[in-house]
Structure 1
Amino acid sequence: MKLEIGNFHVKDVVFGETTNYKEGILTINKKEALDYVLEDEHITEADLLIVKPGDKVRLVPVKEAIECRVKVDGTTLFPGVTGDVAPVGNGRTHALKDCSLLVVGKHWGGFQDGLIDMSGEGAKYTYFSQLKNIVLVGDTDEDFEKNEQQKKNKALRWAGHKLAEYIGSCVKDLEPEDIETFELTPVTKRAEDVQKLPSVVFVMQPQSQMEEMGYNDLVYGWDTNHIVPTFMHPNEILDGAMISGSFMPVSSKWATYDFQNNPTIKELYAEHGKTINFLGVIMSNLNVALDQKNRAALFVAQMAKSLGADGAIVSEEGYGNPDADFIACIVALEDAGVKTVGITNECTGRDGESQPLVALDEKADAIVSTGNVSELIELPPMETVIGELESLGRDGLSGGWANDEILGPSVRKDGSIIMENNAMFCGDQICGWSPKTMKEF
């Protein structure tokens, strides 16, 4: 499979008479874009805003992030979601780089929603503060879940996916500024010099624990709760096969943007044929029952061994219960003779002294940490809030609270906040580009 991603590097985003891209400037006709969003009868109100790095803006509750793109051949960007199921990972896709489309609730948030600061101390905690962001902020008629801690956020998330394709269409027929090429020949047909290199597989564990449909990540529009570990071409992940879900504590989530730009996949590609033979991706799952966890781990290990893997990277989306899947997978791979490195965040408590993972094993002796989800963060008031600041404390965001006996409320009367790192939107970036590191004492 050969995927070409034609990049258009956005220098600025503005509103104007027509939606177009010219000389680094992305212009959006705001009315036409909102009319398109409001075609969904479940969207009761919507607005479109632009925020840029350095703006004195706080966004909350943030529900999703997507890179605006278009398939040059006219097929759908997100098969099974924005259109019919169709293969991805081949051909040409055009992408608007250095910007993202954020979906923000006008009022209601939940466990899976988070916060982004575009400037100040809070900006360092999330990658999305570095991007020029087109912000879709809206509300829906999904009254049945407004007061629920766990929300599917379907109407708003789907609106974001469709709008990302709608905006991306403006570069469909343009010549890209540069092209990234991702190509792997079939595993059994690679050149002899490549096959002599250490073979590495990337094991991804997307959120898939909710047995009720609508909360989990999607693969080709199919709920990942239904899948067993499956071998996928990395191009599929980079090209729209995966959609972010609405269940995981938000700092631990992979946004759809993270699937589209997964830095671990890109780094493995960069080393392919030089230092490693990149075999591809085993898309595993996260389970509830212990026997399901062990069974999935055995599937992964058998698949990796059959592919001839010498090494593996395992990355879990989330923490807590998923830690058992994460460690079981690492142990099964090590038992199969596959040297394995894990990528995960930790839940070590506000004081940093608790056990970092729910499950541990001495065979999991090479783990890259992306930080402590429970770390306390205090941030001053922000000049502008997009969404509703009160949602951080009112609606059960994973890092916020209505009131704490010692710390008081997450949202203070002056607009300053205190919260756990948990509430930073995709803040731990377990996909591979976390800015955090470790100190040894």
Structure 2
Amino acid sequence: MRLEIGKFKVRDIVFGDKTAYCGGILSVNKEDALKVVCEDKYITEADLKIVHPGDMVRLCPVKDSVEFRCKVDGGEGAYPGVTSPLGQAGMGRTHVLDGVSLLSVGKHWGGFQDGLIDMGGPYQHYTIWGDMPNLVLIADTSELDEQREQQKKNHAIRWAGLRLAEHIAECVRDMEPEEVDVYDLPALNERDEKTKALPGVVYVLQPQTQMEALGYNTLVYGWDGNRMLPTFMHPNEFLDGCLVSGSFMPSSSKISTYEFSTNPMIKRLYAQHGKTINFLGVILSTLNPKMEEKARCVQIAGQIAVALGAKGAVVAEEGYGNPDVDYTAMLVELERLGIKTIGLSDEATGRDGASQPLVSMNPATDALVTTGNVSQFYEMPAMEVIGELEALARDGNSGGWEGCINPDGSCVMENNGMFCANHISGYSRRSCADF
């Protein structure tokens, strides 16, 4: 399966008379863009703003991040099964506006799954979005039944962001990209003998799929992940928009739609394919609320890995707490089957770092990579707010609480509430140091 990602390097975003890309500048016609947003009858008001690295601007509550992309050849759309009819992702050509993103932000109501991003100040570099220009969609909706609920589907705002990102990317559909990344991973039986002799490695991705009620979980080609069993997939499918982020899980532990489609771990494994490893592909697993479901999925995923001939695995968990049981069980099972395995996740060690990092522990889990502590405490200076900072304290954001916002606009917060800050996809900026 061969996928070409045509990149258009964006240095800045501006508003202009037409939506176009030229010489590193993305110009957006604001009026036309808002028409696309307001196609949804539940969107009651919307606006667009542009933020840059270093701006003393705080975004809250952030719902999702999306890459600007359009499908040029070989598929139905940028997010098949969601914004377009169901079709095969992972082949043909997709054009992307590289180095920028669309951020969807609520004008008022947030929830524990929504987050905060600082574009400047001491926490600018805690997320990848602090270091890139972003087009920000700020919207409110008439989904009254969710406004005062801690758990929200955020459907209207998230889908508006997906539609808008694809609409804007259409401006480069017929242009020649400045750079083309090619992802071409042959079928297992068609690889050369040199590659087959290398250790086979699988990437086991556990996206957030815990909610039994529909509408909150990660979508796989538009299908709710809670309704799936572990599945073997081609890595190109992920780089071509087969996953859309859900609206569940404390924010810093989430994987955004942007990260699913630009997954740096998949790209890293691709880069080593044929050199140090034989990258077999991706086992898409699930995170489940019940013990029997956890055990079943781990068992099935393990047998897929064995059937593929895997000798090594990278397991990535979106979330923490209850999902730690699925995560640890997956690590233990793969090791039991003779597959050398590392785990990639964040941890919950408390503000003092002295608590148990994972809900479930096992001596077999001796190769773990942490991307951050969800309980890390932040003291954040006052700055301009896009959205509504009060959502951090009022609406059950997992990093905030009543009284966490000071009269001068400064606030305190746990890492839990910083949007996708732990970057379990592989973007994490956390590092370890000896003192």
Tell whether the structures are fold-level matches, with TM greater than 0.5. Answer: yes
Higher deviation after alignment, 137-146 or 289-298: 289-298
CA distance in 2, matches of 1:187, 1:415: 56
2:84 is matched with 83
1:59 is matched with 59
Alpha carbons 1:377, 1:421 under 8 Å: kept: yes
How far is 1:76 from its partner?
A: 1.5
Match of 1:136, SS state, is strand
CA distance in 2, matches of 1:224, 1:391: 28
CA distance in 2, matches of 1:274, 1:38: 49
CA distance in 2, matches of 1:216, 1:358: 21
Match of 1:121, SS state, is coil
Runs of 4+ more than 2 Å apart: 438-441
CA distance in 2, matches of 1:33, 1:311: 46
1:344 is matched with 345
Match of 1:7, SS state, is strand
CA distance in 2, matches of 1:220, 1:173: 26
How far is 1:131 from its partner?
A: 1.3
- Structure 2 stretches lacking a partner, 5+ long: none
2:373 is matched with 372
Alpha carbons 1:67, 1:100 under 8 Å: kept: yes
The answer on 1:400 being equivalent to 2:400 is yes
CA distance in 2, matches of 1:95, 1:124: 23
Match of 1:61, SS state, is strand
Alpha carbons 2:299, 2:333 under 8 Å: kept: yes
1:411 is matched with 405
1:189 is matched with 190
How far is 1:433 from its partner?
A: 1.5
How far is 1:125 from its partner?
A: 1.4
Instruction: State TM-score, norm by structure 1.
Output: 0.97
The answer on 1:298 being equivalent to 2:308 is no
Identity of aligned residues (%): 58
Match of 2:6, SS state, is strand
Amino acid across the alignment from 2:61: P
How far is 1:124 from its partner?
A: 2.0
CA distance in 1, matches of 2:4, 2:419: 29
Instruction: Note the 1:98-117 alignment, pairs <5 A.
Output: 98-117=99-118
1:436 is matched with 430
How far is 1:75 from its partner?
A: 2.3
Amino acid across the alignment from 1:42: Y
Instruction: Note the 1:117-156 alignment, pairs <5 A.
Output: 117-156=118-157
Instruction: State TM-score, norm by structure 2.
Output: 0.99
The answer on 1:261 being equivalent to 2:262 is yes
Instruction: Note the 1:158-173 alignment, pairs <5 A.
Output: 158-173=159-174
Alpha carbons 1:369, 1:438 under 8 Å: kept: no
The answer on 1:389 being equivalent to 2:395 is no
CA distance in 2, matches of 1:123, 1:356: 26
1:204 is matched with 205
1:44 is matched with 44
CA-based RMSD: 0.8
2:420 is matched with 426
Matched positions, count: 434
Alpha carbons 1:65, 1:255 under 8 Å: kept: yes
CA distance in 2, matches of 1:69, 1:83: 13
Deviations 1:200-244 (A, max 9, x none): 000000000000000000000000000000001000011010000
Amino acid across the alignment from 1:145: E
Amino acid across the alignment from 2:180: I
Alpha carbons 2:76, 2:88 under 8 Å: kept: no
How far is 1:440 from its partner?
A: 4.4
